[in-house]
């Protein structure tokens, strides 16, 4: 009993500083950058891929990818941003895939929250020769995911991904992560051969998931330059539904799977100008008795912006 008590006191001593929700930011490590007016631009590369695995046919691999150009303006607390599709990254001869959606990113000192809903219309089958464009394939993809930063007084995700703060010293933080998500695919028909040689005519695929996990993030900084790496992993509870041709009811399957998320940010951040490259890599897998589906959601953003009429008293200097 005495050993258990000592161990519990030891872990409380280690983690109690991280679990204090009322801690103030340590300005020796994290420094705000406030401006009345910010003007910026963003170039985004978005790549969404699905792979259906068949033990007989191999992999049916589909992609919807493109480049968007966006602009941002913010005056005091009010901001507006929008983006337009610039070009598709799919094969030029394969059709015209479309990608529409919106997202909300909330970076607070102690947590990050992102909500997004996207609509993909048309996918290119990458393994076909020549490439085949499937205009009938349409996917809805919705996510709500977030992190809680245990070391938020001395570590900032906003410094690398929102750029309204500066990480002044090298520092890291353990993360607690959570995820809600759904994927809904509708198609005329995908013919997939199963292990027993039966043909699966897939007309719809739905996945609903809830996950909890943890990870770690660290920022290397040198004067106004920074590089941030973050990774989380955890388990997910998934409800998977397949709509099959000539079947009245969907086939429901519950599964528990793991998920690894990666996020990166690097760039230059000063009181008047910022230039940054950030992105994320979100793979996922749904394994069932009949079919295995893998999804990879990747995005990279090149951002630049100018700050005007700085009214804060904190100088962004070493």
List pLDDT tens digits, range 181-215: 999 999 887 887 766 667 777 888 888 889 899 99
* SS3 (DSSP) at 105: strand
d(CA 66, CA 85): 7
- The first and second tokens of residue 95, run together, are 């059709």
Where is pLDDT greater, at 35 or 263?
A: 263
Over range 3-21, report the average pLDDT.
Answer: 45
Asked if residue 253 has pLDDT above 80, the reply is no
pLDDT score at 305: 94
In the chain, the percentage of residues whose pLDDT exceeds 70 is 81
d(CA 279, CA 106): 16
Asked if residue 247 has pLDDT above 50, the reply is yes
The residue among 61, 58, 290 whose CA lies nearest residue 195 is 290
- pLDDT band at residue 4 using 50, 70 and 90 as cut-offs: very low
The residue among 145, 156, 177, 69 whose CA lies nearest residue 108 is 156
Which of 140-144, 211-215, 255-259 comes out lowest in average pLDDT?
A: 255-259
Beta bridge partners of 44: 68, 301
d(CA 184, CA 60): 17
pLDDT score at 34: 80
- The first and second tokens of residue 34, run together, are 């406030």
């Amino acid at each position: 009993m005495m050993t258990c008590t000592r161990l519990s006191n030891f872990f409380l001593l280690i983690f109690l500083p991280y679990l204090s929700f009322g801690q103030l930011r340590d300005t020796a490590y994290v420094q705000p950058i406030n401006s009345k007016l910010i003007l910026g631009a963003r170039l985004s590369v978005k790549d969404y891929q699905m792979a259906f695995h068949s033990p007989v046919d191999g992999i049916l691999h589909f992609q919807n990818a493109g480049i968007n150009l966006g602009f941002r303006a913010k005056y005091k607390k009010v901001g507006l941003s929008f983006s337009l599709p610039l070009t598709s990254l799919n094969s030029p001869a394969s059709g015209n895939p479309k990608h529409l959606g919106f997202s909300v990113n909330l970076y607070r000192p102690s947590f990050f929250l992102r909500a997004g809903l996207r609509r993909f219309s048309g996918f290119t089958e990458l393994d076909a020769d020549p490439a085949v464009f499937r205009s009938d394939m349409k996917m809805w993809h919705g996510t709500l995911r977030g992190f809680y930063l245990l070391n938020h007084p001395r570590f900032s995700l906003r410094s690398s991904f929102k750029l309204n703060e500066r990480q002044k010293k090298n520092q890291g933080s353990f993360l607690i992560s959570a995820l809600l998500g759904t994927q809904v695919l509708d198609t005329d028909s995908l013919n997939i051969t199963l292990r027993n040689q039966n043909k699966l005519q897939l007309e719809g695929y739905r996945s609903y998931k809830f996950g909890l996990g943890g990870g770690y993030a660290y920022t290397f900084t040198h004067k106004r330059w920074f590089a941030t790496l973050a990774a989380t992993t955890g388990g997910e509870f998934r409800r998977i539904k397949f709509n099959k041709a000539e079947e009245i009811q969907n086939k429901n399957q519950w599964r528990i799977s793991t998920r690894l998320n990666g996020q990166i940010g690097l760039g230059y951040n000063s009181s008047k100008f910022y230039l940054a490259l950030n992105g994320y890599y979100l793979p996922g897998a749904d394994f069932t008795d009949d079919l295995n589906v893998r999804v990879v959601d990747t995005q990279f953003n090149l951002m630049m912006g100018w700050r005007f009429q700085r009214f804060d008293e904190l100088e962004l200097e070493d």
